[in-house]
Amino acid sequence: MKHLLLAAAAASLALPVAAQDPAPIPSPGEIAAAAPASDWIAIAPSDLLVMDLAPDAKGQARRVVIQLMPAPFSQGWIGNIRKLAAAHWWDGTSVNRVQDNYVAQWGDATEKKALPKGLMTVPESEYVVGVDMQSIVGPKGVGHRYAPVPAGKLTDSYARFSGFFEGWQVAGQHEPDDPAFTNKGLLPMLRDLPTVVWPVHCYGMVGVGRNPSPDTGSGAELYTVIGHAPRHLDRNIALIGRVITGIEHLSSLPRGTGALGFYEDEKDRVPITSIRIASELPSADQPRYEYLSNQSDSFARYADARANRRDPFFIKPAGGADICNIPVPVRSAAK
């Protein structure tokens, strides 16, 4: 028999549900797949950044699609990125750095290419966002904009609490920060305290390369996480979105042998054919995606299942999960 490491998917492949008695507990992926259409939220093409790399050695196309974060997150950098894409600034640049278990980074390797006029200089204060928890948190902590991670052992090693804010994984704390406040204590006790949240460096998140502080980067130099979540970068560098498809075109690239994983031989750099906002592409070429609403019952069941795997193959549910192990389900909405 094939050794099926990947629990849920494997078991469901091996044993069609109909063939089982009793019916197995669904996997997180199965729960998301079964969510009604009304639980899915369309991602506007204007919020998708489409990066086409030069074809691979076999001549196959390599497209990476990045979802940009909504307000109130990182809008200064994202505004710059929209200008850079509109100016076709990245066309002819390249992926210049791939460091194992860390990041793949792209931009102008020559570092001499002039930037478009009118880019913003964004202050470090924009790494976090102040939110009024009362306005976003509803009964049991699930509001129309925020959902906490499932209860249980669920704590965050890097923040007082973590959860999902309008479709994005975030962490946060109350100001002034008080070690006594934890994820579990967040609600309702802390609902009325000044609170800041920030996006977190999970696998596939896209951030803005920068020089030493107080520089915060323009958005012209971007990277994506291709290893274990480097959460120590949270609040130290801007995150602007996440790769929602095609990350394998970056994560499986040869690792650079230079310092920090930069390619030492420029022939090893991977050419970027173009980067566009999807809404600027011909309609037929515009990718369509949607994500599972954090406020849906389906999402609550999905998140609970991620934290407590009870589907076939598993024998001990963990009783918790870190925020980066609960990715927000995204799927193609191609017509």
Give the type of residue at 92. G
In whole angstroms, what separates CA 77 from the centre of its chain? 16
Nearer to a second copy, 101 or 135 (CB): 101
Strand 289-292 to 40-43 pairing:
antiparallel
Task: Closer to a second copy by CB, 24 or 45: give it.
Answer: 24
Report the chain's C-alpha Rg in angstroms: 21
Residue 185 beta carbon to a second copy: minimum distance, rounded to whole angstroms:
13
Minimum CB separation of residue 52 from a second copy in Å reads: 19
Minimum CB distance to a second copy, residue 147 (Å): 17
CB nearer to a second copy: pick between 281 and 300: 300
To a second copy, the closest distance from the beta carbon of 46 in angstroms equals 26
Instruction: Give Cβ neighbours of residue 121 (< 8 Å, ≥ 6 apart).
Output: 216, 218
Amino acid (one-letter) located at 31? I
Q: Which is nearer to a second copy, 178 or 285 (CB)?
A: 178
| Interatomic CA distance for residues 213 and 199, integer angstroms | 19
How far apart CA 239 and CA 207 sit, in angstroms, is: 4
Contact (CB, 8 A) for 80 and 119:
yes
Q: How far is the CB of 73 from a second copy (least distance, A)?
A: 17
Q: Which is nearer to a second copy, 1 or 114 (CB)?
A: 1
Q: How far is the CB of 280 from a second copy (least distance, A)?
A: 25
Question: Judged by CB, which is closer to a second copy: 89, or 293?
Answer: 89
- The Cα 91–Cα 87 span in angstroms is 9
Looking at residue 255, its amino acid is R
Q: Which is nearer to a second copy, 88 or 153 (CB)?
A: 153
- Please state the closest distance from residue 95 (CB atom) to a second copy, in A: 13
Give, in order, the Cα–Cα distances in Å from 276 to each of 85, 118, 279: 5, 18, 8
The least distance separating a second copy from the CB of residue 70, rounded to whole angstroms, comes to 23
Nearer to a second copy, 258 or 279 (CB): 258
